[in-house]
Amino acid sequence: MENQKTIETDIIIIGAGPVGLFAVFEAGLLKLRCHLIDALPYPGGQLTEIYPKKPIYDIPGCPEILASDLVSNLMRQIAPFKPGFTLGERAETVEKQADGRWLVTTSKGAKHLAPVIFIAAGLGSFEPRKPPIDNIGEFEDKGVEYFVRNPEFYQNRRVVIAGGGDSALDWAIYLSKVARELTLVHRRTEFRGAPDSVEKIQYLAEKGKIKLLTNSQVVGLNGNGQLHSVTIQHDTEGAFQIPTDHFVPLFGLTPKLGPIANWGLGIDKNAIEVNTLDYSTNVPGIFAIGDINTYTGKLKLILCGFHEATLACQSAFKIVHPDQKLSFKYTTVTGIEGMGS
């Protein structure tokens, strides 16, 4: 990474969730170039990571849309503006340069330079909630995965999923069509996920498509360098082992501000304070949009994040092009093609 070329752009967007992606569109209309950085290995943020198959009902013009489809649509919408992506790397440090631009360096040493930063990091960087199993670290990437990144990875494999929320239910339903054997383990009988998903799980269990173990927990992992079985503790039946190739605990993600907390920004209860005029922070040139920010009357809705991104782009233009006059145009008049640089 030492000899890697520094990526130069107009706006560095930290966070490739829906609000960060939409910011690319609004910036593109103003002919501002964007590069996005995200710790997750793909765009979409929480929509991709936590509830890809969950319907969303409050996106204007879409009575109902799956979270994953919203991400796909946003990617199509910003494609004409050719944004850059640094994925699977966390933004670690932000340093002001002599020429007034910001240098953002990632956890893997990638360097990015721009006059403007948009922090669209949702609830911060996510870390998986790991079950309290002593030797779980020994089997990470050797049979234990905290994210389902590629469903085909589990083709014809034996898979044990643990959890009772939407993510666990969604992936259990999906992987039941891919895996050779699928077991869903939940410590209670009641699930926290969408009722429709719970019904599907119960139907699949009745049909023998999945094995459903409630009132149970995975308490042990067994193998020699590679996972070969898990130990289950049932509330009444005691402990027993299940042979498996993969254990996927889906207990949600713990949001952490991470390095952002050290960047000199005004922070209130793990959120960045902003001016609602343009969602600028106390540091000139750095804006915060979406769930990461806080202000009087804040609502943590994707819709509100889209609005915040739009206004932030207007001020970003003035920073990137201080000598140019910004004239607002409707897309119905200008169209999209050819507006990106």
Chain segment 197-230, per-residue pLDDT in tens: 999 999 999 999 999 999 999 999 999 999 999 9
Q: What are phi and psi of 47, to 5 degrees?
A: -60, -40
Q: Are residues 205 and 282 in the same domain?
A: no
Q: Tell me how far apart the alpha carbons of residues 51 and 55 are, in angstroms, rounded to a whole number.
A: 9
Q: Are residues 233 and 90 in the same domain?
A: no
* CA 213 from centre of chain: 29
Q: What is the mean pLDDT of residues 274-300?
A: 97
Q: Are residues 120 and 264 in the same domain?
A: yes
Q: What is the mean pLDDT of residues 3-17?
A: 92
pLDDT of 1 over the 60 cut: no
CB burial class (10 A; 0-12, 13-18, 19+) of residue 183?
buried
pLDDT of 43 over the 90 cut: yes
- Percent pLDDT > 90 in the chain is 78
Q: Are residues 234 and 263 in the same domain?
A: no
Q: Are residues 145 and 239 in the same domain?
A: yes
Of the residues 251, 285, 301, the one at which a domain ends? 251
pLDDT of 337 over the 70 cut: no
Higher pLDDT, 36 or 125: 36
pLDDT tens profile 129-160: 899 999 999 999 899 999 887 788 999 999 99
DSSP type of residue 144: B
Q: Are residues 300 and 216 in the same domain?
A: no
Q: What are phi and psi of 308, to 5 degrees?
A: -60, -40
Q: What are phi and psi of 67, to 5 degrees?
A: -55, -45
Give domain status of residue 33, yes or no: yes
Q: Which helix (H) or strand (E) segment is 150 a member of?
A: none
Q: Are residues 318 and 177 in the same domain?
A: no
pLDDT of residue 338: 47
Q: Tell me how far apart the alpha carbons of residues 164 and 84 are, in angstroms, rounded to a whole number.
A: 36
Give domain status of residue 1, yes or no: no
Of the residues 203, 220, 251, the one at which a domain ends? 251
Task: Tell me the pLDDT of the chain averaged across its residues.
Answer: 92
Of the residues 251, 280, 308, the one at which a domain ends? 251
DSSP type of residue 77: H
Instruction: Look up residue 235 and give its two tokens.
Output: 């509330």
> CATH code at 13?
3.50.50.60
Give domain status of residue 279, yes or no: yes
Q: Are residues 156 and 229 in the same domain?
A: yes
pLDDT of 54 over the 70 cut: yes
Give domain status of residue 80, yes or no: yes
Let me know: does 68 contact 55? Beta carbons within 8 Å: no
DSSP assignments along 4-70, one per residue: PPPEE-SEEEE--SHHHHHHHHHHHHTT--EEEEESSSSTTTHHHHT-TT-EE--BTTBSSEEHHHH
pLDDT of residue 336: 67
DSSP assignments along 269-335, one per residue: TTEEE-BTTTTB-SSTTEEE-GGGEE-TT----HHHHHHHHHHHHHHHHHHH-TTS------HHHH-
pLDDT of residue 252: 81
Residue-range definition of the domain harbouring residue 210:
131-251
Q: What is the mean pLDDT of residues 45-59?
A: 82
Q: Give the total number of structural domains in the chain.
A: 2
DSSP type of residue 147: S
Q: Are residues 103 and 144 in the same domain?
A: no
Q: Are residues 28 and 167 in the same domain?
A: no
Q: Are residues 16 and 81 in the same domain?
A: yes
Give domain status of residue 55, yes or no: yes
Instruction: Look up residue 37 and give its two tokens.
Output: 């950085």
